Structure 1
């Protein structure tokens, strides 16, 4: 059974996939879905309740909460996906080179990884913020610098395992170039590892970006971002606690969906793992 067929049997995974695809599409076409200008200030509408024009009400500056929530998908999700894609590309290339060539090349790359992994990611992030200033772009840069080493190690381990397989040795004996062997015989076998670590890392990175923005170190006003919306809502949390619900629920649902999808991808692509849907059926049968 193919990985896609296994994934389709998992209803939770498919629900997460449909939900995340919808979130991404809404973020890309935010101007068509947002009912109002997300940065337009109208003090006469401060803390106004939900209405037809403002379905989720207005914040302390009279801005449309729903419009800000929709536009916040771009920095909170789309930019995270873009930064993580760059990180995975760097880690995949270095992991392929390190795991395939081994020897001195492997030692040099692994020592670089050891140096990067020896520093806590939060320390590197704060150092970059201290040097270049606050801003989402600096936090994303810090995430790329702190995560590429971990991706490289994971991909290297998989490459070293697959590079010893018979079909790879036959390809070498047949005179195939190194580039052909890496791209046609080894890289496809590591796609499951890449997909799993990508989806699981999106979850943690979204939480990290939202956390830094909540502390005022990420996206700056007036651009909407979920963590910054939480930061703004905390000042009036006791008087208007409902302002924290939309961005808080959005962060929770999106990060949890990526986490569930990552687990399902791992189960579907690795034959050694029992599919999640089978596990849930067994649990129901024993209850």
Structure 2
């Protein structure tokens, strides 16, 4: 099927090499400003995917992101930030990239062209019907991603996607597609730019909204965050001071005793 890849269309700008630095930066910024509006148009699609993802995770399922290149890396970033931010297990949100972990730092040639490897990668994690698999591909044509979602559909696994081309094979394959049309890139075809920014914004929305729905935020605070460094310990102490109206010394002792903000609030309120 032929469709228009707007991510591959000619840039609205030409003679980039003749531009001064300030002109380059201003023009890139002008293009970037269009991305949030494109994401906003996709919110109804994002809503549907968040709702089904929340439902599946409440049933004991997991969320998988799968992609190649920039798209795969963005999925891995979002997945890796869920445990420290929301205190969830490391195997609840999992990012997979064509070419494996080596591809996180260095491109693995032709890895994205495999029609079988994505499903094999999911099988290593014992993929099942409770799980959700979100394919990420700006082009919407990446074989590694599209073929994996087709296999998931055959096995009654919920599929979603994040792509930047309308009516792409990926969008037509996913049960819950998200299409954010950002148009041509500043540097023609460089989808790590606007398309990558759009994917990052959508990933933020999916994981954050899902975790809130799962009860991982209280008020507007990350009460389940892992206290893995001094900054986060201090943030936890300030949360307790604010939430419980106590002094900082009491907060420090509570946090040290109970290990995280939620438990400290719960035990203080119970004993108070």
The TM-score bracket by the shorter chain reads under 0.3
Q: Which structure has the larger Rg? A: 1
Instruction: Answer 1 or 2: which has greater helix percent.
Output: 1
Please give the TM-score of this superposition, normalised by the length of structure 2. 0.27
Judging by fraction of residues, say which structure has more strand.
2
